[in-house]
C-alpha cells in the first residue's frame, strides 16, 4: 500500500520520459509570448474601436479576422501561472514529499512581480498626476493590488494590471491552500483517494465563479459594465482553478497515458478551433449574450486542454516545434515587461501623433506599437526584471536568509 510519504517509483521507458526541462521551458515561454502578443493586439484594437449610440464599431469589418485580434488571452496567463505554481503542491499531496514554506514561496513571487510593477505604477501615476496631491486613492489601491475592487479606478494608471490583483490574491490563496491540501491528503492511504480530494478541491474552485456569474447575470441582472462584479476574483478565479486542475491531473497521471502524436495534434487543433469559435461567437452574441457571459470559464477550460495536449505527450509534435521558435521564446522571456509597458507605450505614441488615424490605420498602428513595446520590454527586462531576480539569492529554499559569510568550521 502506498502512503503519501512514500511515493511509488516505476521504471521509465525512453518513450515515457519527461521532456527535457529546457524544451518544456521553451513551450512555457512561448505560451507566455503568445498571450502577451495577443494582449497587445487586443488593446490596440480596443483603442481603434469606435463606440457610439449605434453600437460598437471595430476597425476590422471581417468577423473572423476581428475575432483573432479581439482574442482575450489573459485566461491563459491565469491557467499557466496556476499550473506551474500548483505542481509542487499537487505532487506532494498525491505522492508525498515536501514543499517550500509559504514565506519562501511568497518571497520568490514578490521579487518576480513587485520591482517592475511598483516602478511602473509610480512612474506612470506621477506623469498623470503632475501636481500634488493627485489621485492618492488610485495610487494606494494600485500599490496594494486592491484597484480590482474599485468600480471607478479599476482601469486607472495601468489598465491591464487589474489582472495582477487577481494574480497576487491567488498567490496568497495558494500559500494557504497548498500546504493544507498536503496535510489533508497525508492520512489517506489510497492514492486514488488523494487524487480525488485534490481534484474535488479544484472542481469546487472552478464551479464557484460559474455559480456567481450565473447568479449575478440571470438572478440579479447585473450588467456587463459592472467591472467589479465580472472582473473580481469571485468571477475570474476559474482560470486559476483550471490551472490547478491541470497540475493535479499531471501529478496524478505521471508518466501514464501520455498522448501520442495522432492524439495530441487533433486535440490541439480542436482546442484552438474551440478558442477561435468562442471568440467569434462572443462578438456576435453581444455583451450580454451567453457566450460572452461565460467566455472566461469556457476559455479557461479550453486553455487547460491545450496545455495538457502540449505537455502530456510521448514525443514532440509539430506544435511543440512551432512553439519553440527562437523569436517566440524571446518574446516569452520579456512577456511580463511587454504586458506592463505596452499600454503606456501605445498611449504615448497616440498622444504624440505618431499613430495613424482611422480604422484604415489599425494594421500600421499595431505594427508600430508592437515594435516600440518590444523594444521597451527588452530594455525593461535587462535593466529591471533580471537584476531584481538576483534578489532570490538572498534566501535559501526554506525562505531563511542565506549566509554568504559562514564561520569557518573549528578544527
Q: CA end-to-end span of the chain, whole Å?
A: 47
Q: Which grid coordinates are listed for 42?
A: 487586443
Nearest-10 crossing angle of helices 326-333, 335-351:
80
CA dist list (Å): 338 to 20, 37, 292, 379, 381: 27, 8, 27, 10, 9
Q: How many whole angstroms separate alpha carbon 366 and alpha carbon 387?
A: 30
Question: Residue 215 has what DSSP assignment?
Answer: I
Say if CB 380 and CB 337 are below 8 A apart: yes
Residues 6+ positions from 332 with CB-CB distance below 8 Å = 28, 29, 30, 31, 32, 33, 34, 36
Position 46 pLDDT exceeds 80: yes
**In the block, which residue shows the cell 578544527?**
411
What does the pLDDT read at residue 287? 87
What does the pLDDT read at residue 16? 39
Average pLDDT over residues 89-116: 92
Q: Among 14-23, 109-118, 167-176, 358-367, where is mean pLDDT lowest? A: 14-23
Residue whose C-alpha is closest to residue 242's, from 57, 80, 54, 53: 80
Average pLDDT over residues 116-120: 97
If one counts every other C-beta atom within 10 angstroms of the C-beta of residue 114, the result is 16
pLDDT in tens, 162-185: 999 999 999 999 999 999 999 999
SS3 percent helix, strand, coil of the chain, rounded to 5, is: 70, 0, 25
Confidence category of residue 409, pLDDT binned at 50, 70, 90:
low
Amino acid at each position: 500500500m502506498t502512503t503519501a510519504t512514500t511515493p511509488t517509483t516505476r521504471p521509465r521507458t525512453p518513450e515515457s520520459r519527461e521532456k527535457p526541462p529546457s524544451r518544456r521551458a521553451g513551450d512555457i515561454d512561448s505560451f507566455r509570448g503568445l498571450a502577451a502578443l495577443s494582449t497587445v493586439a487586443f488593446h490596440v484594437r480596443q483603442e481603434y474601436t469606435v463606440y457610439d449610440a449605434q453600437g460598437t464599431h471595430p476597425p476590422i469589418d471581417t468577423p473572423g479576422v476581428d475575432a483573432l485580434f479581439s482574442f482575450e488571452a489573459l485566461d491563459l496567463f491565469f491557467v499557466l501561472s496556476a499550473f506551474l505554481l500548483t505542481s509542487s503542491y499537487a505532487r506532494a499531496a498525491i505522492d508525498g514529499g515536501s514543499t517550500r514554506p509559504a514565506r519562501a514561496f511568497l518571497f520568490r513571487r514578490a521579487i518576480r512581480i513587485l520591482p517592475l510593477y511598483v516602478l511602473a505604477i509610480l512612474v506612470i501615476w506621477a506623469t498623470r498626476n503632475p501636481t500634488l496631491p493627485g489621485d492618492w486613492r488610485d495610487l494606494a489601491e494600485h500599490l496594494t493590488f486592491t484597484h480590482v475592487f474599485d468600480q471607478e479606478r479599476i482601469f486607472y494608471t495601468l489598465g491591464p494590471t487589474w489582472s495582477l490583483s487577481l494574480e497576487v490574491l491567488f498567490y496568497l490563496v495558494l500559500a494557504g491552500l497548498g500546504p493544507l491540501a498536503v496535510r489533508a491528503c497525508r492520512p489517506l492511504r489510497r492514492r486514488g483517494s488523494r487524487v480525488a480530494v485534490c481534484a474535488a478541491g479544484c472542481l469546487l474552485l472552478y464551479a464557484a465563479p460559474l455559480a456567481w456569474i450565473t447568479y449575478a447575470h440571470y438572478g440579479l441582472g447585473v450588467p456587463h459594465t459592472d467591472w467589479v462584479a465580472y472582473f473580481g476574483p469571485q468571477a475570474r478565479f476559474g482560470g486559476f482553478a483550471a490551472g490547478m486542475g491541470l497540475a493535479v491531473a499531471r501529478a496524478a497521471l505521471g508518466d501514464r497515458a501520455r498522448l501520442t502524436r495522432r492524439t495530441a495534434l487533433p486535440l490541439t487543433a480542436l482546442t484552438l478551433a474551440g478558442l477561435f469559435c468562442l471568440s467569434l461567437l462572443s462578438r456576435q452574441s453581444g455583451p450580454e449574450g451567453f457566450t460572452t457571459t461565460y467566455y472566461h470559464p469556457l476559455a479557461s477550460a479550453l486553455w487547460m486542454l491545450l496545455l495538457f495536449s502540449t505537455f502530456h505527450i510521448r514525443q514532440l509534435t509539430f506544435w511543440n516545434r512551432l512553439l519553440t521558435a527562437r523569436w517566440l521564446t524571446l518574446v516569452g522571456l520579456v512577456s511580463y515587461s511587454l504586458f506592463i509597458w505596452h499600454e503606456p507605450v501605445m498611449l504615448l505614441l497616440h498622444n504624440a501623433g505618431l499613430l495613424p488615424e482611422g480604422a484604415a490605420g489599425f494594421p500600421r498602428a499595431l505594427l508600430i506599437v508592437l515594435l516600440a513595446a518590444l523594444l521597451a520590454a527588452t530594455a525593461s527586462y535587462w535593466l529591471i526584471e533580471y537584476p531584481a531576480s538576483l534578489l532570490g539569492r538572498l534566501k535559501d529554499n526554506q525562505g531563511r536568509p542565506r549566509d554568504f559569510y559562514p564561520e569557518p568550521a573549528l578544527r
